[in-house]
A and B are shown apart, each in its own frame.
Chain A
């Protein structure tokens, strides 16, 4: 049942020569998403790297129709657009197949300023897919901390490292008990593709969050975007799972970690090539801090394994 890369269509949402940084995870993710969603789609964006990547009017790097609206607007604009299309197709004022509506939003627009609207769209069960490409900071404006920035990470507004942990928006969405939601990683592109295809096939509100290691934001070599995505999953720092109406299923390799069948790689393997953790890794209490991070990873894996039994 699983798709092979060679079977993926040669559709590109992102045209060559975008204004995105070299190695941009949003561009990689959006290209894979586009292959799964196809050409009959409309994208809603709010201020983010993915908007800065477009290029300047009158040029655009995106091949599908795009609405660039304001920062807190994702949930409502996605919901308004899809409902308007329902009305226009039902009245016969537009003909053919209704396009897939999706929002392409960063963690700032999802975790912080846009959370209220997205939660409301989920509760209303508006028919669109909300994508969060989570690069764990306001990378577009120069890497300021967001609600998704993890503990200890240095950003331009947490110069000594973030003192509090990130919030867990995927879990919050899980308990909205929406028709479909998933987390995904660039390192598991077939898993991502399958999840997007699944989301496209389901009516109602869908949520997919893709961890998006950001080379300038996290301070690692641009070539390592996918490699860090892999280490995030293998260390248990980013968990792969999906859920239908709140029924949770863990996906491999996260499932094997949660069931204790494989062991996570040491979290230091994930953190060591990220400049944003350089302070932590030089800290006298480094071992203590790393042990605490790993304890938190184990706690979350246990929690998710138990939650999957419900």
Chain B
């Protein structure tokens, strides 16, 4: 389908808000040995930057909010300060 040339339209794209990984002051780091695959981190990540399949974190866009670490029942995610 072609876009109308006149309607003000935007298209879905990763990073519509920019490279939001640069907002981060600390990064979530997952200890895979503690993870019990409950997937709460995947569900709660506001960025959708934790993979459902293997909990890999997309640091290009993770804003470092820390919700994943706070909600992890296994305390398998720790927040590590970003070095400048």
Find out whether the CB atom of B16 lies under 8 angstroms from the CB atom of A59.
yes
Q: Which residue of B lies closest to A60 (CB)?
A: B10
Secondary structure at the A interface, as helix, strand, loop or mixed, is loop
A5–B43 CB distance below 8 A: yes
Q: Is the CB of A31 within 8 A of B16?
A: no
A-B contact count (CB 8 A): 130
Q: Is A16 an interface residue (CB 8 A)?
A: yes
Question: In this assembly, does B52 line the interface, its C-beta being within 8 Å of a C-beta of chain A?
Answer: yes
Q: Is B11 among interface residues, defined by CB-CB distance under 8 A?
A: yes
Contact indicator B10/A223 (Cβ below 8 Å): no
Contacts of A227 in B (CB 8 A): 70-71
B46 touches A31 (CB 8 A): yes
Residues of B within 8 A of A (CB): 8-21, 23, 37-40, 42-49, 52, 58, 60-67, 69-71, 79
A59→B61 contact, CB < 8 A: no
**Bound Cα distance A63, B16 (Å):** 11
A148 touches B (CB below 8 Å): no
Of A5, A21, A221, which contacts B66 at CB under 8 A?
A: A221
Check B48–A60 contact: CB distance below 8 A: no
8 pairs, A vs B, C-beta closer than 8 Å: A14-B46, A16-B61, A18-B17, A19-B20, A23-B65, A31-B45, A57-B8, A59-B13
Q: Check A62 for interface membership: any CB of B closer than 8 A.
A: yes
Size of the A side of the interface (Cβ < 8 Å), in residues, is 42
The answer for the CA separation of A14 and B50 in the assembled complex, in Å, is: 13
Which A residues from 1 to 46 make CB contacts under 8 A with B?
5-6, 8, 10, 12, 14-25, 27-28, 31-32
- Determine how close the nearest CB of chain A comes to the CB of B66; give it in whole angstroms: 3
Chain A: minimal CB distance from B37 (Å): 8
Check if B12 sits within 8 Å of A60, measured CB to CB.
yes
Contact with B along A37-75 (1 / 0, CB 8 A): 000000000000000011111111111000000000000
Complex Cα–Cα for A6 and B10 (A): 32
CA distance A60 to B40 in the complex (A): 26
Contacting residues, chain B, for A15 (C-beta < 8 A): 12-14, 16, 48
List the B side residues contacting A14 at CB < 8 Å.
46-48
Cross-chain contact B66 with A61 (CB below 8 angstroms): no
Contact A226 B46, CB 8 Å, known A16-B60, A19-B18, A58-B9: no
- In contact, A61 and B12 (Cβ under 8 angstroms): yes
Closest residue of chain B to A29 (Cβ to Cβ) is B46
Partner of B19, one of A17, A21, A58, A222: A17
Residues of B within 8 A of A25 (CB): 46
